[in-house]
Amino acid sequence: MIAQKFIVIVLSSILALLQPIVSQKYVKDKLPEQTFVNKNIDSVFASVKSSGWSIDRLYFYHQYIINSLTPPEDELKIINSLPESSSSSFLRTIVMKKMKLFPAMFDTLFNRLKQQPKYSPYYEELVFAASATSQIARLEIAIKEDERLKNIRINWLLGLIHIAKSEYKNAVDYLIKAAQRDENNPHIFFQLSNAYRSLGNYPLALSYIDSAGFFGKDDFFTAKYLLAKGALYYLSGKHKEAESEYTKALILSVKNHFNLFNAKALISIGILEDVKGDVDGARSKFNEALKIAAGINDLETEAHSHSELGVSYTFTNELVDAKKMYLKSFELYKLVSNRLRISLVANNLGKIYLNMFDYQSAMEYFGEGIASAGENKRAKVLNLIGMADTYSNLANYAKALKYYKDAQNLSSEIKEIDLSSEIGTGLGVLNFNLDRFGNALKYFAYAAKHANSIGNPYLKADAFHKIGLTYYNLDSLNLSERFLLKAIETAKQCNDVYTEAVSSCDIAFLYLSKNSLSEAQNFLSIAEKLADKNQLKLLKAEHKLLRGQIAEHQNNFDAAQFSYKEAVYQAKNINNFNLMIEGYYLLGKLFEKNGFNYAAESFYRSAVNLIDDVSRPLFEEQEVQIFYLSSRYQIYTALASLLLDQNKYKAAFELIEKSRSRNLIQNLNNIKLQAIINNKPLLDSLYEFEWRVHSEGGDNEAVKIEYNSFKKEILNKYPSAKKYLNLSTAFSLESFQKELGSGEEYISVFSTAQNTYLFKINKNNFKHYITAEGKEAVKKHIAEISPYFDAQVDSKTFFNQDLFAFNSKSSFIFYNKFFADVFNEINKKSNVIIAPSIEIVSFPFEFLVTSFDEKKSAYSYSNNSYLINDYKISYTPSAASYVEQKKNKFKNNGNVLIVGDPDINAEIEGFSERRGLLEEGSGIPRNVSLLPLKYSGEEVDAISKIINADKVLIRRDATETAFKNNAESSGIIHLSTHSFLYKRQPVIFFSNYYDSENDGFLESNEIVRLKLNSDMVVLSSCNSGLGTVSESEGIVGMTKAFFEAGSKSIVVSLWEVNDKYTSKFMSLFYKHLSSGLNKSEALRLTKLDFIKQQSPNPYFWGAFVLAGNTSPLKFEDNSEVNGYLVVAVVLLLIIAGYLLYRRGRK
């Protein structure tokens, strides 16, 4: 169905990599004349009988045997009747090759190695035999140990050996040395072209193949050259040029009875026909090639024919037949140990198992493909994509993204359009699955453009389908309909059953959403027939979901629930977690709508539990996990709303807290785990187990047993890891209350469409409060307090105190309506920890007005009574994250690091965004012109004196590198600098003078890589507490990054801050901190002092908020140090006086 996430069904073919397996003429000898090649074999036979062997006669006879349809046994008899020599011995090995007698072939050729044969193809066949019998190592040892083998042909032989081992860079080195000795040798150039092709350097490969064609003049070599050149054109996306070369090779081969190249040309042309949609023509050619290959006993060409038939069958979704062809091909390539071809066919088999939902087998084949690829970049990329597709289907998006990135990086070295398109499609699917539809559309549009340029109808239909699906999710229904219809039409033209079926299903859903039930039913019926006929299991499950939704539109409860349950059942059988989640969610909504709340709750919980399982292993790729959880947050919301409607407030609170800051909590847990288990391979195995436990289907219990055994081994070695290894997503009110201290009050805010709920928790009590106004009302209220909080306001607008325009009356109304009842029951001066809802996640509660005189102006701030007057306030994304930070006992050395007033070269690109803003009269807003911060230096100087800073970095010393070098050893970190929002993420500026290691921009992704144990980080800069807002995670920005880096608490700003007033504010804050107060009380008193001494306008004092651990900080006792100094001075004076007295008496 159209809302369901993609399953990656791969229908791409393996492009022709025509590995040269035909022997060539000896390097030093002239190639035979054209007239000689066309002589009758009987004439050559007679010449050998009468005059003996020559290079020309050997070359022709070798060529004849390769193409001969004569049974090998009869061929042997003929060779045995000829004069015995090294030539007849060599020809017998070619017959042995046809008879699959590879050990005998190798022994015969190896025994002649010391004689240094002059015939070049001897070395190619020797390397083939060594590879087929796993004797490459023996051959290398012989070369190394026998000085007699160090001859002119050694580089040629070593180049061939490295090609067989897929070590193409080494092969190039040796072959270039060989070419330097024999610059007119076409065979060396041919193999150089082959090596560069495998390395993905197609332009250079084309250059060398042209050189080979120039020097190789006979028809036999020319046919081989044309096929290789055509393959390079094909890989470069030049299909017309490829077809021209293949056709020339076919004509030449037919004319001269070159059966081997005839078969290869048929395969190559068949691939082009398959891509164009002419599957009948393609299969005819593949079968003809197969017949010829079997007739001449050429195993590799036979294997290639089977492989391409398999590809063709996948185009028409005949997966069973495709699998048979691939397995035959795989067996033959294994027999001759052709590593490159093993890799490519393993990739095809992996895709078949992927389409059959046998993910374990798919990963095994892709893994073998990666291992066999060696240095062949293209083969490796194909298997990396396959592995990424598999993990994407298993909803392990972190692993999927890793493999896609690896493939993308490697593919960029090849610059092959087909590969880039395939990776782009995979990344598009991944972005689609994470609801990043804009990004997905870009990837799919590129795939459509590429498919159109090469005339591939399968890729075109697939791209049209994905674009149509994406437009639907972007609410562009007309465009969605247009592209889905184009997908159906294109799929029909090339008999692409799968794309026709899935597009028909999706357009049926589109018509359902437009209440066009008749059209929806018609297209769904078409899709169902195609799915049933072709056993498309995934689509059959999706069809059930769509049938259920149609039945629900018709108010047919029984039919709807039956279809949904059937969809879940079928999804379980194919391990499709996303379909199962959607099925459970739709069942929950259906049963809730019909008043069956108990059943609805059960279905919602099943969906939530599955989301938990899928998302847990994603923590390694933070952004992926956050997007995954956010895209499914409505399921948590639906269950929470149902629980609240049933007055199950405790259960609702626990669910709400469980759904928040999951990525942060998991990362905090893993930081502690990594500190205990300082063993990366062991941790990687642990995370892999974590994924397997929560993703595998039928074997899940066996995996759990294995996982528990593995954890026991870890605990025997690292006993302190127990609490972190057994981390559960379960959250209970009782366990949280045990962690709260006396005087701590926790307030959690949650809004639905209709109501806003507040939960107040302390050590002994749990209470809820309800306001009959929902999300939109909350947003409206805070926008009335200040235009800054209006979501409609351009985020690039700079707010000074006038534009901020704090409205005291609106603040009071908001407080009175939503929060007064809660705070009236909290003792004054309590530590209040607030977990805000998404609507107020960047709203500071401190400046809520608790009483208002109607006679006063709303914009008069003198004598206002704010919430901060009575309560110590801090923030947390969730109860669990607060507990994690509170219990963080990792120690540091107590150093204080202060960085400020950085010198910035404003001419460097990226530093001019806010250049045009004017200075404010009362001070310089911190990210206006990026000139030196006039008051930052005063701030740094004042703070360093108050708390005796160990390290102060200012002006040009305030570099990013210097900060990173000192941060990890610091207990307190204070940054007084410029910052601004870039792509909704805060960026902190450092001096960019004399810093060759870093660019002076400190971003969130850099922070998380630091290993901090700091007690507190203060970001005294603009917008440092803002970032991307995620429904599941809250604000994803600097606060989260510093927490994950290891900081226990952080002070950040929620808007543009004024340089002058910020300097004064921070000096006050550290004075209170140094007196031994906890952080929240120090911040409260700082704000109250600021109101009295500087300005009551909340714009100046309300921006800075505290998150995390609120405990007091330990500072060096200055009074004690000063006392010691006084005593020391007095003693020195007494001693000096005594000495003067003694001198006077003398």
Residue 617 in this model has a pLDDT that exceeds 70 = no
E-strand stretches of 950-996: 951-955, 970-976, 979-982, 985-989
Please check whether residues 230 and 259 belong to one and the same domain: yes
Evaluate whether 92 touches 108 at the Cβ level (below 8 Å): yes
Distance CA 17, CA 105 (A): 26
Percentages of the chain per state (helix, strand, coil), in multiples of 5: 65, 10, 30
What's the token pair of residue 841?
A: 């996640």
Does residue 694 lie within any of the structural domains?
Answer: no
Is the residue at 857 inside a domain?
A: yes
Of residues 393 and 444, more confidence is placed in: 444
pLDDT-derived band at 1135, boundaries 50, 70, 90: confident
User: Does a structural domain hold residue 340?
Assistant: yes
Same domain, 905 and 1027: yes
How high is the pLDDT of residue 221?
86
399-433: string of b/e by CB count within 10 Å (b at 16+)? bbbbbbebbbebbeebebbbbbbbbbbbbbbbbbb
Residue 560: band (very low, low, confident or very high) from pLDDT cuts 50, 70, 90: very high
Same domain, 1127 and 1107: no
3-state secondary structure of 1070: helix
Residues 318 and 345 in one domain: yes
CA diameter of the chain: 136
**According to the model, what pLDDT value does residue 383 have?**
92
**Coil, strand, or helix at residue 845?**
helix
Which of 22-26, 53-57, 538-542, 569-573 has the weakest average pLDDT?
22-26
DSSP per-residue letters across 85-139: SHHHHHHHHHHHHHTT-HHHHHHHHHHTGGG--S-HHHHHHHHHHHHHTT-HHHH
Q: Write down the pLDDT at residue 19.
A: 31
The mean pLDDT of 91-104, rounded to a whole number, is 92
Last residue of a domain, one of 434, 460, 494: 434
Q: What is the pLDDT of residue 180?
A: 87
pLDDT for residue 12 = 31
**1033 within a domain of the structure (yes/no):** yes
CA 413, 416, 422, 427 dihedral sign is positive
Q: Which of 29, 420, 411 is nearest to 218 (CA)?
A: 29
Please tell me the predicted confidence (pLDDT) of residue 1119: 44
* Measured distance CA(445)–CA(1078) in Å, rounded: 56
- Domain shared by 1050 and 1145, yes or no: no
Tell me the H-state helices in 182-318.
186-198, 202-215, 219-235, 239-256, 259-276, 279-295, 299-315
246 and 230 Cβ atoms separated by less than 8 Å = yes
Give the pLDDT score at 24. 30
Q: Are residues 925 and 1055 in the same domain?
A: yes
Q: At what angle do helices 359-373 and 377-393 cross, to 10 degrees?
A: 160
What are the tens digits of pLDDT across the range 161-187? 999 888 889 999 999 988 888 778 888
pLDDT tens digit sequence for 880-924: 888 888 877 666 677 889 998 888 776 654 444 333 322 333 333
Q: What is the pLDDT of residue 23?
A: 30
Top-confidence residue, 769 or 674: 769
Q: Is position 805 within any domain?
A: yes
Mean pLDDT, range 31-43, rounded to an integer? 49
Question: In this structure, are 362 and 286 located in the same domain?
Answer: no
**Ramachandran region of residue 237, left (φ > 0), alpha (ψ -120 to 50) or beta?**
left
Higher-confidence residue of 667 and 155: namely: 155
Domain presence at residue 17:
no
CATH number of the domain that residue 252 is part of: 1.25.40.10
Q: Is 697 exposed, middle or buried (0-12, 13-18, 19+ CB in 10 A)?
A: middle
Q: Which residues of 949-973 are buried (b: 16+ CB within 10 A; e: fewer)?
A: bbbbbbebbbbbebbbebbbbbbbb
Q: Which residues pair with 749 in a beta bridge?
A: 758
* Distance, CA of 278 to chain centre: 36
Q: CA quadruple 443, 17, 405, 673: dihedral positive or negative?
A: positive
| DSSP reduced 3-state for 954 | strand
Neighbours of 1071 (CB within 10 A): 18
Predicted confidence (pLDDT) at residue 283 exceeds the cutoff of 90: yes
| Confidence band for 807, pLDDT divided at 50, 70 and 90 | very high
Residue 1136 binned pLDDT confidence (cut-offs 50, 70, 90):
low
pLDDT, position 42? 80
> Distance between CA atoms of 949 and 961, rounded to whole angstroms?
19
**Distance of CA 581 to CAs 224, 357, 360, 362, Å?**
55, 17, 22, 24
Residue 803 shares a structural domain with residue 943: no
CATH number at residue 1071: 3.40.50.1460
In a shared domain, residues 844 and 985? no
What is the distance between the alpha carbons of residues 559 and 590, in angstroms, rounded to a whole number? 11
Identify the weakest region by mean pLDDT among 339-343, 616-620, 1084-1088.
Answer: 616-620
Given 820, 840, 875, which residue is the final one in a domain? Answer: 875
What is the average per-residue pLDDT within 415-431? 74
The DSSP output letter for 426 is H
pLDDT at residue 1144 in the model: 56
Domain count, the chain: 6
Identify the pLDDT of residue 403.
86
Is 161 in the same domain as 29?
yes
**Is residue 1096 very low, low, confident or very high in pLDDT (cuts 50, 70, 90)?**
very high
Domain of residue 965: give its range.
889-1115
> Residue 704 falls within a domain, yes or no?
no
Residues 896, 871, single domain; the answer is no
Residue carrying structure tokens 């390694």? 620
Phi and psi at residue 897, to the nearest 5°: -115, 125
Question: Residue 196 is part of a domain; what is its CATH number?
Answer: 1.25.40
Rounded Cα distance between 1052 and 1105, Å, is 6
pLDDT of 508 above 50? yes
Candidate ranges 351-365, 589-603, 981-995; pick with highest mean pLDDT: 589-603
User: Is 888 or 467 the better-scoring residue by pLDDT?
Assistant: 467
First to last CA, the chain: 110
Q: Which of 297, 313, 343 is the endpoint of a domain?
A: 297
With respect to residue 554, please indicate whether it lies within any of the assigned structural domains: no
Cα–Cα distance for residue pair 612/629, rounded to 1 Å: 9
Same domain, 1083 and 1136: no
